[in-house]
């Protein structure tokens, strides 16, 4: 919609009424479109000015102010230079007519318009002094002048204004020359300012310090500006929130500016530090008042909590500003130096404040400073460590303090403060099972606390933190000695969560028995009493983090495994709607904890009866051996009745179990407890079948019943069971190498006696036979149990993307784990892929085909079938890529990865095949080199994750396009390398003939393929591949290619030069 005829003022007013007054949505929509077109028209300049003078009502005045601001910001070039001065005078006149009761939205638009005009109007050379002189004539307009000055500093860096770099530099120079005038004006106005104007002044000061980059230490007017800011901060009951927050923002801006000043030798930071320390008493006073008001007036309580939050942000900023001094040269509290540890006292006062002021939202304000401080201090400690090979590398700084006190004074002074931080954080981590919203907030806070604890443990040490929390738990136990196990567990639950953040760093040997005491007296009894699910979750998390310790204590391990299984069993069959609050997370944590415990394979010696000698011997056992039946029958077989269990937790369980199984089949004669892998190898096929059976049966049931997919990650979603299967085989990727223990067998002690040699040879043969039997058993499970169901899934869900991606993932990991041993079912896999590809051209089939080529491509008898697979997949793919190339980056990447692997593993059969349209393939690769340029031109490619925001989609598209063009470039490079190595024809001979029939017959498949490539490269027409490849490389580098891709283009040109010698490229 465009406006050709000049509209009248009445027409515009009618449109405004239609937009704001008329109840009909269709009328509103039409009016909105017309008014937007009007704002873009040249007629808006005059009429918006008339609307402001008219002052008919709020809607028309706001529209006039908004329009004049938009015109100045976006369409300033429409106005001739001769009209600029009239616009400036009219705009300032509108601001002069603003009153105290003028709506703030109108006033802000007019003030922003003045600021934008200042930035755009080149001939307004004395703008700041002119604005100050014009608008400072009365108290009312002087208040709006402060807003104009604030907006000027903000708009200076606005991306909406079309300002060149030179213009911005000129504006900056003008502001620097006039900042004294501005500060004089603000200093004058602040003396008699009310609360509202104080907020305006502080916001203006904060904006100038944050945005202009011209303010220095000497520009700070201690009296009256800085004194006024701290006076406001010290009077929390007197000033409203807007004024208090504005004062805080200016102090934060000043602190931030101090970090850019070289060193710490400046009086401003010293002055700020001294005055900020005085706010500690204010914080404590507000915390006390908030506690008193909590029972009477929530509004009054909220005011004091907000004041505490503001002061906490100032403390956090101060700590970040003086962080270097606190790390490298800390001084005792009260010293007055920049490294004064009173700064940490201020942060701890925030964390230790009583509720309601001491809340999670307030505590979070300290996290950034504490995290960066702990990280720097830990790094400093590491740099001071004499050598990386100390006798106890896991010991904490606190443990070494006696012997290394002089070399680490910073560590010794900071550790007590961070120990207090750990204890203080426990106050904010207790769970409330009744409040679901609070549970979400708690989880978010715990995630942040976990990140903070990872930095603190590097500094303080896991053992030190554990001892502190352990003593705190013991005090809670003594205080609740008469309470039930659940009550004691509830009281200690927050401490237990904090322990989960450091438990993985603790020594599994536990020489003092503290971990054993904690588990035996608190966690085991607490979980046995069936506490609420959130408490169960913490217990499960602790068990998971202590998995290495649990593996060393089999007696306690048995009780722990039983408790975790019981948590799962109690929830089996419970509908999602009937779950207790937090039960889903608790069950997921229990399943994941079982996986963590199984992952740590630590065999233990046990006495066994030797039937042949009627005596006893020594054997080994592990968690998997003792609890296998429970894990299968009580956990794995319960998964179909746990439709709501988090899929990621179940994946962690399968991964942990499979990793434990993989560790059990390794022959390791040099370990402390030499293990015999033969029993584990004999059991592995059956165990693998049991793990896979529940997933296979569920997929078969879905296919047989033709059940529609009712939602993601539900029992009707085959992707759940396929994900579990892919996790199992992904964890078995090292199966063949784990079973190939020839090197370890060769290290069996060899002696000269025939009897010992015979025993040794028998041992070697037995190990080899066990490995072969294990491999064949696993292969039988895959071919007879898993693959038939995956093949049926490929047929049944062929048109659906997600199930096909999961099926391809399962086949991929099956091929990686069993390698060429799967050659017998490779033809069947290829046929199923082709059939499924005909239902839906999903790029995951191309990716899987590339994996199959990588695994089986070196087997001569498999190469024809692999090339045949490509011949079936390529035509539909090339047809799809013939148009909308930039919209299919993932297909391009997967397709040319397949081509690269074909060239690497079976190039002669691939490139010489008459069924492969080599020219179309090479032409598509050439076009793919320009993919980033095409995307930048406007046909951006979408990323796979459709839930991403537009900004993320743009970044994802660029990355996907880069990966796709990289794959295409790699294919072209591999093809050029092969041509150089396999060609029997000279380039000159190729140029001299029209077709291959005029050349001598090729002696091999490889020379046929190389000849086809040479004809494409040297064809003397406008379609000459070599010329087009050179042009594409140069254009890609000039038109948007990332610099890190330039070496790829250079390598292509270099290889092309090798293929095409000078006599071909330059016939003269």
Residues 92 and 11 grouped into a single domain: no
Residues 953 and 1045 grouped into a single domain: yes
User: Is the pLDDT assigned to residue 481 strictly greater than 80?
Assistant: no
Q: Give per-residue pLDDT as tens, 971-1003.
A: 999 999 998 888 887 777 777 777 767 777 878
Quote the pLDDT of residue 957.
58
Quote the pLDDT of residue 614.
47
Q: At what angle do helices 436-460 and 462-479 cross, to 10 degrees?
A: 130
Per-residue pLDDT band for 645 (boundaries 50, 70, 90) equals very high
Cα angle 1058, 1061, 1067 (rounded to 5 degrees) comes to: 155
Residues 970 and 1010 grouped into a single domain: yes
Per-residue pLDDT band for 1068 (boundaries 50, 70, 90) equals very low
d(CA 459, CA 420): 13
> Is residue 823, in this structure, part of any structural domain at all?
no
Instruction: Tell me the mean pLDDT in the region 448-464.
Output: 93
Q: Which domain holds residue 7?
A: 1-79
Per-residue pLDDT band for 1058 (boundaries 50, 70, 90) equals confident
User: Is the pLDDT assigned to residue 613 strictly greater than 80?
Assistant: no
Residues 59 and 98 grouped into a single domain: no
Distance from the first to the final alpha carbon of the chain:
61
Name the domain count of the chain: 3
* DSSP secondary structure, 354-378, as one string: PTTTS-HHHHHTTHHHHHHHHHHHH
Q: Give per-residue pLDDT as tens, 182-201.
A: 999 999 999 999 999 999 99
d(CA 314, CA 321): 10
d(CA 829, CA 795): 12
User: Is the pLDDT assigned to residue 953 strictly greater than 60?
Assistant: no
Instruction: Tell me the mean pLDDT in the region 298-319.
Output: 95
Q: Give per-residue pLDDT as tens, 760-812.
A: 777 778 888 999 999 999 999 999 999 999 999 999 999 999 999 999 999 99
> Is residue 131, in this structure, part of any structural domain at all?
yes
Residues 1044 and 939 grouped into a single domain: yes
Per-residue pLDDT band for 409 (boundaries 50, 70, 90) equals low
Cα angle 522, 525, 531 (rounded to 5 degrees) comes to: 100
Q: Give the end of a domain, one of 147, 178, 209.
A: 178
Instruction: Tell me the mean pLDDT in the region 450-469.
Output: 93
Among candidate residues 931, 930, 911, 908, the one with its CA nearest the CA of residue 921? 911
Task: Give this prediction's pTM.
Answer: 0.83
Residues 14 and 104 grouped into a single domain: no
C-alpha R_g of the chain: 37
> Is residue 863, in this structure, part of any structural domain at all?
no
Quote the pLDDT of residue 560.
96
Q: Give the end of a domain, one of 117, 144, 178.
A: 178
Residues 74 and 98 grouped into a single domain: no
Is-cis flag, bond preceding 224, omega within 30?
yes
Cβ atoms 601, 627 nearer than 8 A: no
d(CA 198, CA 208): 15
Q: Give per-residue pLDDT as tens, 153-163.
A: 999 988 888 88
Give the 3-state secondary structure of residue 96. Answer: helix
> Is residue 86, in this structure, part of any structural domain at all?
yes
Quote the pLDDT of residue 354.
94
Q: Give the end of a domain, one of 178, 209, 242.
A: 178
Residues 953 and 1030 grouped into a single domain: yes
Per-residue pLDDT band for 235 (boundaries 50, 70, 90) equals very high
Residues 1000 and 953 grouped into a single domain: yes
In 10 A of CB 86, how many CB atoms?
A: 11
User: Is the pLDDT assigned to residue 169 strictly greater than 70?
Assistant: yes
Distance of CA 158 to the CA centre of its chain: 29
Q: Which two tokens stand for residue 264?
A: 């710490």
Q: Give per-residue pLDDT as tens, 44-57.
A: 999 999 999 999 99
Q: Which residue has the higher pLDDT, 678 or 382?
A: 678
Q: Give per-residue pLDDT as tens, 688-713.
A: 999 999 999 999 999 999 998 888 88
In 10 A of CB 577, how many CB atoms?
A: 6
Q: Which two tokens stand for residue 1067?
A: 């016939």
Residues 48 and 84 grouped into a single domain: no
The dihedral through the CA atoms of 451, 457, 458, 459 has a sign that is positive
Q: Give per-residue pLDDT as tens, 91-139.
A: 999 999 999 999 999 999 999 999 999 999 999 999 999 999 999 989 9
User: Is the pLDDT assigned to residue 624 strictly greater than 70?
Assistant: yes
Cβ atoms 279, 233 nearer than 8 A: yes
Is-cis flag, bond preceding 356, omega within 30?
yes
Quote the pLDDT of residue 989.
78
Quote the pLDDT of residue 1065.
52
Instruction: Tell me the mean pLDDT in the region 495-523.
Output: 91
Quote the pLDDT of residue 440.
82
Among candidate residues 264, 279, 360, the one with its CA nearest the CA of residue 315? 279
Quote the pLDDT of residue 439.
77
- pLDDT above 90 covers a percentage of the chain that reads 65
Identify the burial level of 762 via C-beta atoms within 10 angstroms of its C-beta, where 0-12 means exposed, 13-18 middle and 19 or more buried.
Answer: exposed
d(CA 16, CA 32): 8
> Is residue 889, in this structure, part of any structural domain at all?
no
Q: Which residues contact 180 (CB under 8 A, 6 or more apart)?
A: none
Q: Which residue has the tokens 């450091």?
A: 502
Q: Which residue has the tokens 């028998």?
A: 762
Per-residue pLDDT band for 742 (boundaries 50, 70, 90) equals low
> Is residue 1016, in this structure, part of any structural domain at all?
yes
Q: Give per-residue pLDDT as tens, 342-372.
A: 999 999 999 999 999 999 999 999 999 999 9
Q: Which residue has the higher pLDDT, 615 or 521?
A: 521
Cβ atoms 460, 408 nearer than 8 A: no
Quote the pLDDT of residue 263.
56
Quote the pLDDT of residue 667.
82
Among candidate residues 892, 898, 903, 891, the one with its CA nearest the CA of residue 850? 898
> Is residue 819, in this structure, part of any structural domain at all?
no
Residues 956 and 1010 grouped into a single domain: yes
Distance of CA 524 to the CA centre of its chain: 35
Average pLDDT value for the chain: 87
Instruction: Tell me the mean pLDDT in the region 242-266.
Output: 84
> Is residue 940, in this structure, part of any structural domain at all?
yes
Residues 134 and 86 grouped into a single domain: yes
Quote the pLDDT of residue 610.
44
User: Is the pLDDT assigned to residue 618 strictly greater than 50?
Assistant: no
């Amino acid at each position: 919609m465009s406006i050709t005829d000049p509209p009248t003022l009445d027409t515009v007013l009618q449109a405004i009424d239609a937009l704001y007054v008329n109840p009909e949505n269709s009328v509103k929509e039409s009016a909105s479109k017309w008014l937007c077109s009007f704002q873009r028209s040249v007629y808006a300049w005059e009429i918006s000015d008339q609307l402001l003078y008219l002052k008919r009502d709020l809607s028309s005045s706001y529209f006039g102010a908004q329009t004049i601001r938009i015109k100045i910001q976006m369409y300033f070039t429409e106005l001739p230079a001769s009209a600029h001065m009239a616009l400036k005078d009219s705009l300032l006149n509108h601001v002069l007519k603003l009153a105290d009761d003028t709506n703030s939205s109108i006033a802000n638009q007019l003030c922003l318009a003045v600021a934008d005009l200042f930035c755009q109007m080149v001939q307004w050379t004395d703008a700041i002094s002119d604005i100050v002189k014009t608008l400072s004539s009365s108290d009312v307009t002087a208040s709006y002048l402060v807003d104009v000055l604030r907006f000027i500093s903000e708009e200076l860096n606005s991306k909406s204004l079309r300002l060149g770099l030179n213009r911005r530099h000129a504006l900056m120079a003008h502001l620097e020359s006039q900042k004294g005038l501005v500060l004089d004006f603000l200093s004058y106005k602040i003396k008699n300012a009310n609360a509202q104007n104080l907020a305006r002044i502080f916001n203006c000061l904060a904006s100038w310090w944050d945005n202009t980059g011209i303010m220095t230490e000497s520009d700070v007017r201690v009296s009256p500006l800085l004194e006024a800011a701290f006076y406001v901060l010290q009077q929390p009951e007197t000033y409203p929130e807007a004024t208090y927050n504005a004062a805080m923002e200016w102090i934060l801006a000043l602190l931030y500016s101090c970090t850019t000043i070289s060193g710490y030798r400046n009086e401003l930071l010293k002055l700020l530090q001294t005055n900020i320390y005085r706010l500690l008493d204010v914080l404590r006073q507000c915390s006390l008042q908030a506690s008193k008001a909590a029972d009477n007036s929530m509004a009054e309580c909220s005011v004091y909590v907000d004041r505490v939050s503001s002061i906490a942000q100032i403390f956090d900023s101060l700590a970040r500003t003086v962080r270097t001094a606190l790390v490298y040269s800390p001084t005792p509290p009260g010293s007055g130096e920049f490294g004064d540890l009173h700064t940490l006292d201020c942060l701890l006062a925030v964390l230790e404040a009583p509720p309601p002021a001491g809340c999670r939202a307030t505590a979070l304000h300290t996290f950034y400073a504490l995290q960066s401080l702990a990280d720097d201090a830990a790094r400093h400690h590491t740099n001071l460590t004499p050598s990386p090979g100390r006798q106890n590398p896991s010991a904490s700084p606190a443990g070494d303090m006696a012997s290394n006190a002089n070399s680490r004074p910073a560590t010794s002074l900071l550790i007590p403060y961070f120990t207090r931080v750990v204890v203080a954080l426990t106050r904010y981590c207790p769970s409330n099972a009744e409040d679901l919203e609070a549970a979400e907030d708690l989880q978010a806070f715990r995630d942040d606390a976990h990140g903070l604890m990872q930095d603190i443990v590097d500094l303080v040490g896991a053992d030190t933190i554990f001892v502190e929390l352990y003593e705190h738990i013991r005090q809670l136990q003594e205080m609740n000695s008469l309470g039930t196990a659940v009550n004691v567990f509830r009281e200690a639950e927050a401490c237990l969560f904090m322990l989960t953040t450091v438990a993985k760093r603790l020594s599994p040997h536990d020489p003092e028995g503290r971990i054993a005491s904690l588990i035996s007296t608190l966690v085991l009894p607490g979980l046995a009493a069936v506490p609420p699910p959130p408490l169960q979750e913490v217990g499960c998390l602790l068990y998971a983090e202590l998995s290495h310790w649990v593996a060393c204590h089999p007696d306690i391990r048995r009780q722990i495994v039983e408790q975790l299984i019981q948590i799962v069993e109690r929830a089996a069959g419970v509908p999602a709607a009937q779950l207790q609050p937090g039960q889903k997370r608790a069950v997921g944590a229990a399943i994941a904890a079982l996986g963590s415990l199984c992952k740590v394979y630590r065999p233990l010696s046990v006495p066994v009866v030797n039937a042949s000698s009627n005596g006893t011997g020594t054997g080994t056992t592990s968690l998997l051996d003792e609890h296998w039946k429970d894990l299968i029958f009580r956990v794995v077989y319960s998964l179909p009745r746990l439709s709501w269990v988090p899929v990621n937790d179940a994946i962690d369980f399968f991964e942990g179990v499979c990793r434990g199984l993989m560790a059990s089949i390794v022959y390791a004669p040099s370990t402390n407890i030499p293990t015999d892998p033969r029993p584990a190898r004999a059991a592995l096929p059956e165990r693998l079948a049991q793990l896979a059976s529940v997933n296979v049966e569920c997929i078969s049931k879905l296919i047989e019943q033709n059940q529609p997919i009712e939602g993601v990650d539900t029992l009707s979603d085959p992707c759940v069971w396929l994900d579990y299967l892919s996790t199992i085989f992904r964890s078995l990727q090292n199966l063949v190498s784990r079973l190939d223990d020839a090197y370890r067998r060769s290290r069996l002690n060899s002696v000269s006696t025939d009897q010992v040699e015979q025993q040794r040879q028998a041992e070697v043969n037995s190990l080899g036979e066990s490995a072969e039997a294990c491999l064949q058993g696993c292969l039988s499970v895959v071919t007879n149990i898993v693959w038939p169901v995956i093949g049926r899934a490929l047929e049944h869900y062929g048109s659906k993307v997600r199930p096909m991606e999961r099926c391809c993932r399962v086949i991929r990991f099956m091929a990686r784990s069993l390698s060429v041993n799967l050659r017998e079912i490779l033809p069947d896999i290829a046929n199923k892929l082709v059939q499924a590809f005909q239902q839906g051209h999903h790029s995951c089939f191309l990716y899987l085909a590339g994996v199959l080529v990588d695994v089986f491509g070196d087997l001569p008898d498999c190469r024809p079938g692999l090339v045949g697979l490509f011949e079936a997949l390529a035509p539909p793919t090339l047809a799809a890529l013939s148009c909308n190339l930039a919209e299919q980056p993932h297909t391009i990447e997967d397709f040319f990865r397949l081509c690269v692997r074909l060239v690497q593993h079976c190039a002669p059969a691939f490139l010489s095949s008459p069924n492969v349209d080599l020219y179309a393939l090479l032409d598509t690769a050439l076009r793919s080199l320009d993919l980033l340029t095409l995307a930048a031109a406007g046909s951006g490619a979408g990323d796979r994750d459709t839930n991403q925001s537009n900004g993320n989609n743009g970044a994802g598209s660029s990355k996907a396009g880069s990966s796709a063009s990289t794959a295409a470039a790699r294919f072209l490079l591999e093809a050029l390398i092969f041509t150089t190595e396999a060609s029997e024809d000279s380039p000159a001979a190729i140029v001299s003939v029209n077709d291959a029939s005029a050349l001598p017959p090729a002696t091999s498949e490889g020379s046929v393929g190389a000849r086809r490539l040479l004809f494409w490269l040297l064809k003397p027409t406008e379609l000459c591949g070599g010329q087009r490849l050179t042009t594409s490389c140069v254009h890609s580098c000039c038109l948007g290619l990332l610099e890190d891709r330039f070496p790829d283009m250079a390598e292509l040109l270099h290889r092309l030069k090798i293929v095409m010698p000078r006599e071909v490229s330059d016939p003269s």
